[in-house]
Chains A and B, each alone.
Chain A
Amino acid sequence: MFTFILKRLAIAIPTLLLLIVISFLLMHSAPGGPFTAERELPPQVLANLNAKYGLDQPLWRQITTYVWGIVAHFDFGPSFVYKDRTVNQIIAQGFPITLTYGLISFAVAVIFGVSLGVAAAIRHNSLLDYIAVGVSIGAQVLPNFVMAPILVLIFTLWLGVLPGGGWQGPEYWIMPVIALSTSFMASIARITRSSMLEVLTSNHIRTARAKGLPERRVILRHALKPALLPVISYLGPAFVAMITGSVVVDIYFSTGGIGKAFVDSALNRDYAVMMGVTILVGALTIFFTLVVDILYGWIDPKIRY
């Protein structure tokens, strides 16, 4: 297990380097620099801007300086567009927000999704099962950019019970979490249901039942763990999709999160912020995949690293 983790971490480093290089080259090969202004800048001003941000250096030097800044000082440099902020400051402000609603959404999706899936599987072919399947299929195909404005319409304009956006306290978390978690909850419910159904008909559950164990114990002790395996392998892709979904949440609920910061930085050619966020998300993905793998191994002892 320990060597496995080490191995994965060893892969993480070239991965991040690759990410940096890819995004760096992409950015620099594109038309329109960060200082494209409505009025063409005087050459001297442009030269100064370029010098200030190191853009006058050869490309390889820019990359090495950049990487060195991160490795040595954990410094992602100044933002090109939000000129009175550094990338570190922008991430420090936006990331905790995204992390907060992201983690809550994740927890909500897993807890409710698994419960719904298990309940539907136990009462296979009952009304509850049909409702669960219907709702989860519906929720799975409804894009969150459709759900978000509908939520605001209902809870903010009509009922007037929730603030329509912003990030000032727990009541501001509710709608982002609903918008972000629903489709994942639906997917998890479907996956749990079908794998639970499969497990419930397997031999070892039949044995457990035959032994006369109470049904509750059968489900929780014997069936749940193996049934969760496909759910866990879904968590990796779900995590990545959730980061994408955070862009919609940020746009509709003005949370000030990191998803919007990324889209803005791409549109504004804010090289530094864009790379900072990309690296952050890449690192998170690696970390999360690792956690999922460990979890998987823990639940399924058959897996050897």
Chain B
Amino acid sequence: MKMKKLLATSAIAISLAFQAHAAAVPDGVTLADDQTYTFWLLDAIKSMDPQINTDVEGSDVLRNLFEGLYNEDGNGELIPGVAIDHTVSDDGLTYTFNLRDTAKWSNGDHVTANDFVYAWRRLADPATASEYAWYMELMQVENASAVVAGDMPTDQLGITALDDHTLEVKITTPLPYFPQMLVHASTFPVPQKTIEANGDNWTQAGTLVGNGAYTLTEHQLGERVVMEKNDTYWASTNTVMTQLTALTINDGNQALTRYLAGELDRVDIPAGQYPRLKEEYPDQATSTPYNCSYIYMLNVGEKGPEALKDVRVRQALAYAIDRDVIVDRILQGGQKAAYNWTHWAIADFERPQSEWADEMDQAQRIEKAKKLMIEAGYGPDKPLELRLQYNTSDDHKKIAIAASQMLKAIGVNIVLDNYEWKIHTDRMQNQDFDMARYAWCGDYNEASTYLDLMTSYSGHNNGEFFNDAYDKVMADSKTAADPQPLYQQAETILTEEMPIIPLYHYANVDMIAADIKGLPQNNVNNTWYGKDMYRVAE
């Protein structure tokens, strides 16, 4: 009983975590006088509106300015946010959340259940035109699809304020991981009064009203974001960091240089630099698993090339690419070679055994690939020509170049196509590609966030892999007591059919200043909160 178990554990976790909430400074630690934290943003924040934001970086900022029903701790477990706890009806379809009455907006108003109702309706409302409106559908909130499509008024959405501090959400199918989904920034409450008074401008520094542990004091687009400790936050007495600053640096190498010069407390390590930095700064270079998988999606649909409709060709392509070279020689940051789709560190998930992943070495795989190519009718005198499309990034470029060289060895000539993100995406959505670089970051810590993607009705299945058996397995998993065996079946189908070529599972490869504590160590989503952090004296 997956669902029950999860509820039980989260209930316990919640009560236990209650006191430990906010920065847990161990005894005997001397705090530094300077409690500020400066982190890196690759690009300007596109929007500070929780219902409009679509980016991971935007979410990092939003989690500090707003607070949803639940937060995550350093291990990715749920801890109370605005909600203290919740109960679920026996059919698993009705969630009732008890909100704390001490939660306040930064203008002093109380945070009430109505603020959540307003925010969720706003997310689903076609008038808001949020690119993340589908998240309401993903959460299976009652009537979400109809509301998003504009067929039903927003007040029909399955969320109701029973009173100021009791929130009821109705969903259409039992979702074991529903509470996990509430950590997502698009579910955060927003202040109705401020939005109505200021329109789209409400997120400017000085105007923005939030309920998070920090308030926005400065936002120079493309330069920096400064957030100061919010004294009206319900647990503000436990907040140690007084200021969070995000610096936008458009070049990763430049960001690292500035980190080394002491201007930043955290920065991503560019591909290939981790081993050197680990040796030089063992206390600062870190690598932790990160909930994303990197693949080449194959176009097996009608508009795709004839060759890719042959499963032998697809397997040959997958076998020929040496993943160890990619992770150990190119990225070098503790990423893991991937022979399946779901990220290896996803909770409770275990990859099914497969021949190519567990029994063969790379030389054997290449042999097999060559054999498969010949069986499929290709050979030295009849090479296969394919286009490999990737979006602009140094890392994608390097991997694509390496892959094209590896595929050359089995007689596949790859033409590289580099496009900007928007065009890359557009071409994929129009099935205008042969092989395309793709990565998916799980929205929550459960295997279905990956596996749902490859169903025929998924909005992301751009390669048009339509497989009835796969659809059935995934449909069954929604109601199964223990979905894990079904997830394994789904993975096995993917291995046999190979509509996607898994390459590697992501890791967060960072330099983190040695005196910064409280960043999550064991959270695959890398959900971090400024309120949990502190800086120790050297």
Contact = CB atoms under 8 A, between A and B. Distances in A.
Quick check: do A and B touch in the complex, using CB within 8 A?
yes
Interface of A: 30-45, 47-49, 52, 78, 81-85, 90, 93-94, 149, 152-153, 156-157, 160, 163-167, 250-252, 254-257, 260-261, 264, 267-269
A156 B256 CA distance: 12
A252 B254 CA distance: 7
Contact of A82 (B44, B126, B422, B429): B44
The 5 residue pairs across chains A and B that have the minimum distance between CB atoms: A256-B223, A32-B426, A32-B422, A164-B258, A48-B129
Interface in B222-255: 222-224, 247-251, 253-254
A260 B250 CA distance: 9
Contact of B251 (A38, A156, A252, A261): A252
B422 A84 contact: no
Given A82-B221, A84-B47, A152 B257 contact: yes
Interface stretch (B6-14, B98-106, B200-208, B320-328): B200-208
Given A43-B149, A256-B220, 19 more contacts: A30-B423, A36-B425, A41-B133, A41-B134, A42-B134, A84-B47, A84-B202, A84-B204, A156-B263, A157-B261, A164-B258, A164-B261, A166-B223, A167-B220, A250-B222, A251-B250, A254-B248, A260-B222, A264-B44
Contacts of B262: 160
Given A36-B422, A84-B47, A149-B254, A254 B249 contact: yes
Interface stretch (B48-56, B307-315, B360-368): B48-56
Nearest to A41: B131
Interface string B77-93: 00000000000000000
Given A41-B131, A78-B200, A165-B254, A32 B261 contact: no
Q: Looking at B52, B133, B422, B460, which has the most chain A CB atoms within 10 Å of its CB?
A: B422
A83 B46 contact: yes
Nearest to B208: A84
Interface in B359-385: none
A208 B497 CA distance: 90
B119 interface: no
A250 B422 CA distance: 22
B221 A165 contact: no
A85 B421 CA distance: 22
Contacts of A47: 126
B460 A269 contact: no
B131 A45 contact: yes
B71 to A, nearest CB: 24
Interface string B405-428: 000000000000000111101110
A163 to B, nearest CB: 7
Contacts of A156: 257-258, 261, 263
A300 to B, nearest CB: 42
Contacts of A32: 420, 422-423, 425-427
Given A149-B257, A153-B257, A251-B250, A44 B200 contact: no
Contacts of B247: 165-166, 254
A48 B220 CA distance: 29
Contacts of A82: 44, 46-47, 221
Interface in B136-166: 148-150
Nearest to B254: A252
Interface residues of B, number: 52
B221 A90 contact: yes
B260 interface: yes
Nearest to B204: A84
B248 to A, nearest CB: 5
Contacts of A94: 221-222
B1 interface: no
B129 A52 contact: yes
Interface of A: prevailing SS: loop
B130 interface: yes
Contacts of A164: 254, 257-258, 261, 263
Contacts of A257: 222
27 contacts: A32-B420, A32-B425, A32-B427, A36-B429, A37-B425, A42-B133, A45-B129, A45-B130, A48-B127, A82-B221, A83-B47, A84-B200, A85-B200, A90-B221, A93-B220, A94-B221, A149-B257, A156-B261, A163-B263, A164-B263, A165-B247, A166-B224, A256-B221, A260-B250, A261-B222, A264-B222, A269-B422
Given A40-B429, A149-B254, A165 B249 contact: yes
Given A84-B47, A260-B222, A37 B131 contact: yes
Interface in B456-499: 459-460
Contacts of B129: 45, 48-49, 52
A1 B134 CA distance: 62
Nearest to A257: B222
Given A36-B426, A38-B425, A267-B420, A44 B220 contact: no
Task: Count chain B CB atoms within 10 A of each CB in A81, A82, A152, A165 and give the residue with the most.
Answer: A165
B423 to A, nearest CB: 4
Contacts of A264: 43-44, 222
Contact of B257 (A43, A90, A157): A157
A266 to B, nearest CB: 8
Contacts of B223: 166-167, 254-256
A269 to B, nearest CB: 5
A45 B130 CA distance: 7
A163 B224 CA distance: 14
Given A41-B131, A84-B202, A252-B254, A267 B422 contact: yes
B386 to A, nearest CB: 21
A256 B130 contact: no
A38 B131 CA distance: 9
Most chain A beta carbons < 10 A, residue from B222, B250, B429: B222
Given A84-B48, A252-B251, A93 B221 contact: yes
Interface in B30-61: 43-44, 46-49, 52, 54
Interface string B284-299: 0000000000000000
B459 A157 contact: no
B48, B134, B221, most chain A CB atoms within 10 A: B221
Nearest to A160: B261
B254 A268 contact: no
Contacts of A84: 47-49, 52, 200-204
A157 B256 CA distance: 10
B258 A152 contact: yes
Contacts of B201: 84
A39 B221 contact: no
Nearest to A164: B258
Contacts of B423: 30-32
Contacts of A260: 222, 250
Contacts of A78: 200
A84 to B, nearest CB: 4
A34 B222 CA distance: 19
B149 to A, nearest CB: 5
A41 B134 CA distance: 8
A166 B421 CA distance: 26
Contacts of B220: 93, 167, 256
B52 A83 contact: yes
A31 B389 CA distance: 15
Contacts of A40: 429, 459
Contacts of B127: 48
